[in-house]
């Protein structure tokens, strides 16, 4: 009788970053500015790369794909959060919740593989420069980008498929600013052990595999750079690789703390901070990390400004 009388939850309430009324409008303005800069930065970078034929090389095609993944990550979370800052109704349906997580999960997974592919691209460019046009053709580049997105879509679809088996009846309140998968497990009436295990296993495999690919590629790259006698070439190589390594450190550091190191029990405030970093801050920083010290991109911007 208890099971029959239990009302299953079909919509949730997102509590957001804070429940203090005085902070809602200031936070709305801050994150609106961040979102606008993020979209202008990432979509602007994509437009620049596609407009200039000189930038139609594997390195910049990967960079434009990364910018698209960053724009998708931010857009999956920020708009709903902005609406909730100004609205008293913080409800989100189960279907919308699953859609939001799917969009975020696929973009984040895609970014992991794109970062590893970009590291391999730098390895080939610096360690085998004469073979670079053959080993990293535009055709192979497109295949690697397509594979990265395909894995992202499939990985996220698996978790959404497993979420469908869960029922929610304990509570409909999510103490978060978006439908984060670990938060959904907390309010599930169905035992989520299988789901939690697969999230941790898949996260560990994907992050360790892609991160090790990056580390191994850059070990070879650093040794190759140190062997260079040309000081100018060495400086340029370190500058290009340094931007990528900074982006990788920020992205993987927060993902690891959130999903792989989750067993140590980070506090709710720390979880929100980690999530803010990889959903909103990193997509904001990436186009500037890769562009500000890139002479080709800056040169293209100057040409457009002069025209």
Q: What CA–CA distance (Å, rounded) separates 260 from 282?
A: 19
CA torsion, ordered 231, 233, 236, 240, to nearest 10 deg: -130
User: What mean pLDDT is reported for the chain?
Assistant: 84
Contacts of residue 32, defined as CB under 8 A and 6 or more positions apart, other chains included, come to 82
Contacts of residue 99, defined as CB under 8 A and 6 or more positions apart, other chains included, come to none
Are 163 and 3 contacting, i.e. CB atoms less than 8 angstroms apart?
no
Element (H, E) at 103: helix 94-127
The two three-digit tokens of residue 163, written as one number = 């979420």
User: Coil, strand, or helix at residue 12?
Assistant: strand
Mean pLDDT for 286-307 is: 74
Q: What CA–CA distance (Å, rounded) separates 86 from 81?
A: 9
Q: What is the pLDDT of residue 262?
A: 52
The two three-digit tokens of residue 11, written as one number = 């919509």
Give me the domains of the chain, ranges plus CATH numbers. 2-306 (1.20.1070.10)
* pTM score of the predicted model: 0.87
Are 294 and 262 contacting, i.e. CB atoms less than 8 angstroms apart?
no
Q: What is the pLDDT of residue 240?
A: 64
Q: Is the pLDDT of residue 55 over 70?
A: yes
pLDDT in tens, 174-233: 888 899 888 889 888 888 999 999 998 998 899 889 989 998 998 888 888 777 656 666
pLDDT in tens, 8-45: 777 899 988 877 878 889 999 999 999 999 999 999 99
Using pLDDT thresholds of 50, 70 and 90, give the confidence band for residue 5: very low
Q: What CA–CA distance (Å, rounded) separates 71 from 279?
A: 10
Q: What is the pLDDT of residue 74?
A: 94
Among 144-153, 242-251, 296-305, whose mean pLDDT is lowest? 296-305
Q: Is the pLDDT of residue 99 over 80?
A: yes
User: Coil, strand, or helix at residue 169?
Assistant: coil
Mean pLDDT for 83-110 is: 92
The two three-digit tokens of residue 158, written as one number = 């698996």
**Length reported for the chain:** 307
Among 166, 204, 200, 162, smallest CA distance to 186 is for: 166
% residues pLDDT > 90 (the chain): 39
Q: How far apart, in Å, do the first and last CA atoms of the chain sit?
A: 74
Mean pLDDT for 75-100 is: 91
Q: Is the pLDDT of residue 261 over 60?
A: no
């Amino acid at each position: 009788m208890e099971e029959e009388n239990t009302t299953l939850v079909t919509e949730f309430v997102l509590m957001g970053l804070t429940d203090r009324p005085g902070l809602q409008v200031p936070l709305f303005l801050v994150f609106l500015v961040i979102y606008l800069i993020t979209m202008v930065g990432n979509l602007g970078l994509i437009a620049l790369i596609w407009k200039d034929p000189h930038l139609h090389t594997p390195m910049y095609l990967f960079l434009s794909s990364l910018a698209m993944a960053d724009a998708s990550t931010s857009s999956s979370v920020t708009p709903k959060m902005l609406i909730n800052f100004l609205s008293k109704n913080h409800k989100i349906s189960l279907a919308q919740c699953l859609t939001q997580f799917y969009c975020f999960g696929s973009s984040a997974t895609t970014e992991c593989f794109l970062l590893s592919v970009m590291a391999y691209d730098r390895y080939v460019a610096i360690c085998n420069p004469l073979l670079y046009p053959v080993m990293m053709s535009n055709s192979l580049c497109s295949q690697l980008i397509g594979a990265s997105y395909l894995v992202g879509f499939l990985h996220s679809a698996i978790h959404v498929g497993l979420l469908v088996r869960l029922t929610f009846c304990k509570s409909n309140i999510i103490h978060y600013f978006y439908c984060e998968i670990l938060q959904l497990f907390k309010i599930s009436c169905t035992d989520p052990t299988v789901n939690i295990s697969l999230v941790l296993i898949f996260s560990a495999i994907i992050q360790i595999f892609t991160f090790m690919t990056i580390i191994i590629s850059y070990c070879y790259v650093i040794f190759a750079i140190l062997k260079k006698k040309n000081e100018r070439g060495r400086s340029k190589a370190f500058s290009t690789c340094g931007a990528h390594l900074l982006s990788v450190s920020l992205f993987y550091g927060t993902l690891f703390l959130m999903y792989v190191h989750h067993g140590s029990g980070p506090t709710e405030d720390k979880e929100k901070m980690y999530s803010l970093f990889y959903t909103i801050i990193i997509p904001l920083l990436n186009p500037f990390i890769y562009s500000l010290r890139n002479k080709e991109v800056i040169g293209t911007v100057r040409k457009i400004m002069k025209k």
